[in-house]
Amino acid sequence: MMGRHQPQARQLFVSSTSVYGQTQGEVVTEESAADPISATSRILREAEEVVLAAGATVVRSTGIYGPNRDALFSKFGKGEAVIEGDGLRWINQIHQHDLVVALLHLIKEGAPGEIYNATDDTPVTYRDFYAWCSDFLQKPMPPFGPVNLQRKRGVTNKRVSNAKLRATGWSPQYPSFREGLSADFHSPK
């Protein structure tokens, strides 16, 4: 029933880059195989197929962070963070402001029936993420521990490209988590 009340309106479906099941640190684009490894991600992929067939634009978001939404940074600040495995698995993130701007941009510039990855410019390993947090907050690095295999969206290891979205004229205000978390940390609460 998409578009029943406003048939000319641009239809957007926000999905997740968890639909990419890559585990070897590959760079993934919208053309990469989307073979999800978890049940949640398989449901998202099935929903994508339905809305793409109806002419919607699909936006695959990476991990969203921003004010009141910063799980990894908060865990570090509270001393609850653990660097899983060797810490070399890739994290892909986008600041919530940049995601909203991307969605508004794609309402105007996105192509119906197309998929766009919404992420910042800088994938980072867990180890490097926590090293930055350690330096930024002047706290020790978290301990190493086992990989949590019980994640809702599975354990992947990939670097998500935003080149297709950037080609439409969008660019993130926060090209990496460093700028985004710094701005959030120093802004009045």
| Cα–Cα distance measured from residue 126 to residue 121, given in angstroms and rounded to the nearest whole number | 16
pLDDT at 66: 92
pLDDT along the chain (189 residues), means of 10: 59 95 95 92 96 96 91 91 94 97 95 96 97 96 87 78 98 97 80
Maximum Cα–Cα distance across the chain: 55
At residue 66, what is the residue type? G
At residue 117, what is the residue type? N
| Residue spans per domain, the chain | 12-183
Which token pair is 22?
């890559």
pLDDT at 71: 87
Residue 160, Cα to own-chain centre: how many angstroms? 8
Could you give the count of Cα atoms lying within 13 Å of 25 in the half-sphere of its Cβ? 7
Cβ neighbours around 22 below 10 Å, total: 20
pTM: 0.91
At residue 78, what is the residue type? K
- Architecture per CATH, 12-183: 3-Layer(aba) Sandwich (3.40)
Report which of 15, 35, 3, 31 is spatially closest to residue 99, judged by C-alpha positions.
15
